[in-house]
Amino acid sequence: MVRALLDEGDEVFVLARRPMPFQHPRLHPLGADDTDANALQPGAFDRGVVWIHGTALEAPSQQVRGPCWHVLESAATNPARPGSQRRERFAALGNDDREVILGFVVEGNGSRWLTDEEISAGVLHALHHDLKRHVIGGVEPWSARP
Protein backbone atom coordinates (compact mmCIF):
# COMPACT_ATOMS: atom_id res chain seq x y z
CA MET A 1 0.00 0.00 0.00
CA VAL A 2 2.85 2.40 0.81
CA ARG A 3 4.39 1.82 -2.63
CA ALA A 4 1.02 2.42 -4.32
CA LEU A 5 0.58 5.75 -2.52
CA LEU A 6 4.12 6.75 -3.48
CA ASP A 7 3.41 5.77 -7.10
CA GLU A 8 0.38 8.09 -6.98
CA GLY A 9 2.67 10.96 -5.97
CA ASP A 10 1.77 11.17 -2.28
CA GLU A 11 4.15 12.13 0.49
CA VAL A 12 3.93 9.15 2.86
CA PHE A 13 4.78 9.25 6.55
CA VAL A 14 4.97 5.83 8.19
CA LEU A 15 4.87 5.44 11.93
CA ALA A 16 6.35 2.03 12.65
CA ARG A 17 8.45 0.25 15.23
CA ARG A 18 10.43 -1.53 12.50
CA PRO A 19 12.38 0.14 9.70
CA MET A 20 10.87 0.31 6.24
CA PRO A 21 12.30 -2.33 3.86
CA PHE A 22 12.92 0.30 1.15
CA GLN A 23 13.66 3.99 0.69
CA HIS A 24 11.99 6.63 -1.44
CA PRO A 25 12.36 10.43 -1.60
CA ARG A 26 8.71 10.92 -0.56
CA LEU A 27 8.77 8.23 2.16
CA HIS A 28 9.31 9.54 5.68
CA PRO A 29 9.63 6.86 8.38
CA LEU A 30 8.76 7.99 11.91
CA GLY A 31 9.88 5.66 14.68
CA ALA A 32 7.58 5.60 17.70
CA ASP A 33 6.00 3.35 20.27
CA ASP A 34 2.31 2.77 19.49
CA THR A 35 1.61 2.13 23.17
CA ASP A 36 2.67 5.69 24.06
CA ALA A 37 -0.13 8.20 23.56
CA ASN A 38 2.39 11.06 23.88
CA ALA A 39 4.85 9.73 21.28
CA LEU A 40 3.40 11.97 18.58
CA GLN A 41 2.97 15.69 18.84
CA PRO A 42 0.03 17.41 17.13
CA GLY A 43 0.63 17.66 13.41
CA ALA A 44 -1.23 18.33 10.22
CA PHE A 45 -1.46 15.27 7.99
CA ASP A 46 -4.10 15.49 5.25
CA ARG A 47 -5.31 11.92 5.75
CA GLY A 48 -4.22 8.85 7.62
CA VAL A 49 -4.37 5.08 7.70
CA VAL A 50 -3.91 3.62 11.17
CA TRP A 51 -3.33 -0.08 11.78
CA ILE A 52 -2.29 -0.27 15.35
CA HIS A 53 -2.37 -2.80 18.15
CA GLY A 54 -1.89 -1.05 21.43
CA THR A 55 -3.37 1.09 24.12
CA ALA A 56 -2.92 4.43 22.35
CA LEU A 57 -5.34 3.86 19.48
CA GLU A 58 -6.45 7.50 19.37
CA ALA A 59 -2.94 9.01 19.31
CA PRO A 60 -2.21 8.78 15.56
CA SER A 61 -5.66 10.00 14.50
CA GLN A 62 -5.18 13.15 16.58
CA GLN A 63 -2.41 14.11 14.15
CA VAL A 64 -4.68 13.97 11.08
CA ARG A 65 -6.78 16.96 10.01
CA GLY A 66 -8.67 15.05 7.33
CA PRO A 67 -10.14 11.56 7.13
CA CYS A 68 -8.42 8.82 9.10
CA TRP A 69 -9.09 5.16 8.32
CA HIS A 70 -8.62 2.70 11.19
CA VAL A 71 -7.80 -0.82 10.00
CA LEU A 72 -9.54 -3.23 12.37
CA GLU A 73 -9.47 -6.99 12.75
CA SER A 74 -12.62 -9.01 12.07
CA ALA A 75 -13.22 -9.25 15.82
CA ALA A 76 -14.57 -5.68 15.59
CA THR A 77 -17.70 -7.24 14.06
CA ASN A 78 -18.01 -10.16 16.50
CA PRO A 79 -21.69 -10.30 17.46
CA ALA A 80 -20.82 -11.80 20.86
CA ARG A 81 -18.31 -9.08 21.72
CA PRO A 82 -19.59 -6.23 23.85
CA GLY A 83 -19.28 -2.75 22.34
CA SER A 84 -15.84 -1.22 22.72
CA GLN A 85 -17.18 2.34 22.40
CA ARG A 86 -14.40 2.83 19.84
CA ARG A 87 -16.55 5.00 17.60
CA GLU A 88 -17.67 7.15 20.52
CA ARG A 89 -14.06 7.72 21.64
CA PHE A 90 -13.02 8.85 18.17
CA ALA A 91 -16.14 11.01 17.74
CA ALA A 92 -15.30 12.79 21.00
CA LEU A 93 -12.00 13.88 19.43
CA GLY A 94 -13.90 15.63 16.64
CA ASN A 95 -12.07 13.71 13.92
CA ASP A 96 -13.32 12.31 10.64
CA ASP A 97 -12.60 8.72 11.61
CA ARG A 98 -13.48 5.81 9.35
CA GLU A 99 -13.15 2.03 9.52
CA VAL A 100 -11.67 -0.66 7.33
CA ILE A 101 -12.61 -4.09 8.67
CA LEU A 102 -10.38 -7.04 7.78
CA GLY A 103 -12.55 -10.05 7.10
CA PHE A 104 -11.79 -13.45 5.64
CA VAL A 105 -12.35 -15.36 2.40
CA VAL A 106 -14.50 -18.48 2.18
CA GLU A 107 -13.03 -20.94 -0.33
CA GLY A 108 -14.37 -24.39 -1.06
CA ASN A 109 -14.83 -26.24 2.22
CA GLY A 110 -12.90 -23.76 4.35
CA SER A 111 -11.83 -20.20 4.81
CA ARG A 112 -8.62 -18.20 5.06
CA TRP A 113 -7.43 -14.83 6.26
CA LEU A 114 -6.78 -12.08 3.74
CA THR A 115 -3.43 -11.83 1.98
CA ASP A 116 -1.25 -8.73 2.29
CA GLU A 117 -2.16 -7.85 -1.29
CA GLU A 118 -5.91 -8.12 -0.58
CA ILE A 119 -5.55 -5.95 2.51
CA SER A 120 -3.57 -3.29 0.63
CA ALA A 121 -6.03 -3.26 -2.27
CA GLY A 122 -8.98 -2.99 0.13
CA VAL A 123 -7.50 -0.12 2.11
CA LEU A 124 -6.61 1.72 -1.11
CA HIS A 125 -10.20 1.18 -2.30
CA ALA A 126 -11.49 2.82 0.90
CA LEU A 127 -9.15 5.79 0.40
CA HIS A 128 -9.87 6.26 -3.31
CA HIS A 129 -13.64 6.08 -2.79
CA ASP A 130 -13.63 8.07 0.47
CA LEU A 131 -15.59 5.34 2.28
CA LYS A 132 -16.73 5.77 5.88
CA ARG A 133 -16.78 2.01 6.48
CA HIS A 134 -15.38 -0.72 4.28
CA VAL A 135 -15.22 -4.47 4.88
CA ILE A 136 -12.52 -6.37 3.00
CA GLY A 137 -13.61 -9.94 2.38
CA GLY A 138 -16.47 -11.24 4.49
CA VAL A 139 -17.29 -11.27 8.19
CA GLU A 140 -20.33 -13.56 8.08
CA PRO A 141 -21.15 -16.11 9.03
CA TRP A 142 -19.00 -15.61 12.12
CA SER A 143 -18.66 -19.38 12.47
CA ALA A 144 -16.83 -19.52 9.10
CA ARG A 145 -13.79 -17.62 10.39
CA PRO A 146 -10.51 -19.53 9.88
Closest by CA position to 94, among listed 71, 130, 59, 65: 65
Q: What is the pLDDT of residues 70-79, one digit of tens each?
A: 898 888 887 6
| Residues 39/45/50/55 CA torsion (nearest 10 deg) | 30
Q: Does 65 reside within a domain?
A: yes
Q: What is the pLDDT of residues 85-108, one digit of tens each?
A: 666 666 666 678 889 999 999 998
Q: Does 25 reside within a domain?
A: no
Q: pTM of the prediction? A: 0.80
Amino acid at 117: E
Total tally of structural domains belonging to the chain: 1
Q: Does 24 reside within a domain?
A: no
Domain span including residue 103 = 42-144
Residue 118 class from Cβ within 10 Å (0-12 exposed, 13-18 middle, 19+ buried)? middle
Q: Does 72 reside within a domain?
A: yes
Q: What is the pLDDT of residues 16-37, one digit of tens each?
A: 777 888 889 988 887 665 555 5
